[in-house]
Amino acid sequence: MNTYSTIRAAFIFLMLCFLAAPPARATESQTLNAGWLLETAKSTILTNSPWSDAGCNVEIESSPPDFILYRSGQIEVVGTLNHTPNNLRDLGAVDVEVYINGELYMVFDPSPYLSVTLTTFAAAHDIDRDQVLTEADVDQIETDINTLPSSDIYESLDEIIGMAARMNIQVGRIFSDGMLALPILVERGEELTVYIPLGPASIALHGIALDSGSLGDEIRVKNPDSNTIITAEVTGPSTATIRLLN
């Protein structure tokens, strides 16, 4: 057999072996519903601090396509925190882990698809500095956590009603730490009544406030007759009380 015949015979043999070989087995796959991942993430947020403590609301805004998993077996989906959240805006702390037959297959980031909001309290109209707030001055609104003020916000209406604005507040602005204070009940230089409790009775004196003060503040008061200066606790509008030691 010459060289050409040998090569031709070898080629025919290889072709027959290739044609006789069983077809390659297709990779087994299964579909993972993206909604399952997002519902798991939603539950994780609602049951973990700081979102659960603040009473946040979570909605699924959009969804990616379902995932094709190129592995067969039982699927398990687990919501986790990859680190302790720094604040309400830190949705990057939330992961959804996908396991197949107990082995980690993938980690899903749900943050682009979720909307997390919080019930907040905002100015119902423009509010002037030193204005004492009533219920009519406050609106309750749902606010996206990404637009929350950097300072702590007031969590209940009771914390706001009766407080005084420390600045001019524009309509729609969320009430947060530093914007409100107890109203001034005694102004510096004004005349006030100072009470000295004596058992079931009390003595009332006339005085002039040397300091401004809110409820519970200690201020200096001058007796205009003797020019004596005493310290008294603000107990109401234009009134203060001297707390005697027992």
Tokens found for residue 131? 């204005």
pLDDT recorded at residue 104 = 97
Listed range (29-38, 122-131, 190-199) with the worst mean pLDDT: 190-199
Is the predicted pLDDT of residue 57 greater than 80, yes or no?
yes
pLDDT recorded at residue 37 = 98
Is the predicted pLDDT of residue 120 greater than 90, yes or no?
yes
| Per-chain mean pLDDT for the chain | 89
Give Cβ neighbours of residue 31 (< 8 Å, ≥ 6 apart).
66, 67, 68, 69
Could you tell me the domains of the chain? Answer: 30-116 (no CATH), 117-181 (3.90.1210.10), 184-241 (2.30.30.760)
pLDDT recorded at residue 25 = 45
CA 106-79-61 angle, to 5 degrees, is: 90
232 contacts 188 by C-beta, under 8 angstroms: no
Where is 233: in which H helix or E strand?
Answer: strand 229-236
For residue 50, whether the previous peptide bond is cis, meaning omega lies within 30 degrees of 0, is yes
Give Cβ neighbours of residue 176 (< 8 Å, ≥ 6 apart).
149, 151, 152, 153, 154
Residue 103 burial class via C-beta count within 10 angstroms: exposed 0-12, middle 13-18, buried 19 and up: exposed
Over the stretch 132-181, which tens digit does the pLDDT of each residue have? 999 999 999 999 999 999 888 998 999 999 999 999 999 999 999 999 99
Dist. CA 155–CA 116, nearest whole Å: 16
The alpha-helical segments, DSSP class H, found in the chain are 3-20, 34-46, 51-54
pLDDT recorded at residue 26 = 46
Predicted confidence band of residue 244 (pLDDT cuts 50, 70, 90):
confident
Higher local confidence (pLDDT), 83 or 23: 83
Average pLDDT over residues 78-91: 94
Dist. CA 165–CA 89, nearest whole Å: 27
- Dihedral sign (CA 32, 33, 34, 37): negative
- Dihedral sign (CA 41, 43, 45, 49): negative
pLDDT recorded at residue 243 = 83
pTM of the model: 0.66
pLDDT recorded at residue 20 = 53
Over the stretch 7-45, which tens digit does the pLDDT of each residue have? 555 555 555 554 454 444 445 899 999 999 999 999 999
CB half-sphere exposure, 114, CA atoms < 13 A: 28
Counting residues of the chain whose pLDDT is more than 70, the rounded percentage is 88
Is the predicted pLDDT of residue 3 greater than 80, yes or no?
no
